[in-house]
A = this chain, B = another copy of it.
Amino acid sequence: MVTQPRTAELLWGSPDRPKRGPKPALSLEQIVATAVSMADAEGLATVSMQRLAEDLGFTKMSLYRYTPGKAELTALMLDAALGPAPDLSDLDGGWRAALHEWALRMWAGLRQHPWVVDVAVGPRVMGPNELDWLETGLGTLSDTGLTGGERLDSVVLITGHVRSLAQQATAPGAETDTPEKALHAIMSGILTDHADRYPEAAAAFASAGSSSGQDDALEFGLARIFDGLAALVAERAE
């Protein structure tokens, strides 16, 4: 990643305009915002520099006056789409209620910008908004007596769960149904053909396909994680 310093400067640097030369007709914010709404509407894959430039009424190469490359633009899109973290200070119910709300807000955001999950991958330069989310998540655990590493691992655990489900729920083919039903629809033929070899899977799908509401998998996972965390917090409190 040679682009890291540039990415960091674009995300964190101050936008000091040069003095000579014609005034830019576009702004990086404008480009990023257009790219985000395009990705929201038609998927990240359809956002090419060409299409983005056409949407803005300029040529493709003009965009490279604002961003060194598409990777940097994508990093900016990510932080813009995340937006600032929610304010959880008014919440009652301790860390559990706060973390729950935090997770649900993140879930809602990821549903709105499904492509974010594909972009926010691996150790990378976090933008102000992403770091704000992390900060807020960690803050919910400040009264628990957990160590810094444990708090970090907790937030990572919840993030992973939310992201993993968001990825399933917003993937192509799952727009109409819940991901469980979509998967069940796809696999039902195969499962009935091989029910003898995969009895547990066949039974589980049959049972889950009939009941199971909308966000069951999300709430189920959160409940288990919070129960597990509560046990650790209680242990630390002794």
Contact = CB atoms under 8 A, between A and B. Distances in A.
Interface of A: 1, 4, 8, 12, 121-126, 131-132, 134-135, 138-139, 142, 147-154, 156-157, 159-161, 163-165, 167-168, 171-174, 179-180, 182-183, 186-187, 189-190, 193-194, 197-201, 203-208, 211-212, 216-217, 220-221, 223-229, 231-232
| SS of A interface (majority) | helix
Given A121-B168, A131-B198, A228-B231, 18 more contacts: A1-B172, A121-B171, A122-B171, A123-B173, A123-B174, A123-B179, A123-B182, A123-B183, A125-B190, A135-B198, A148-B206, A148-B208, A156-B164, A156-B217, A160-B161, A163-B164, A225-B225, A228-B229
A122 B167 contact: yes
13 contacts: A121-B168, A122-B172, A122-B173, A124-B173, A135-B197, A148-B205, A148-B206, A149-B212, A150-B220, A223-B228, A227-B227, A227-B231, A231-B231
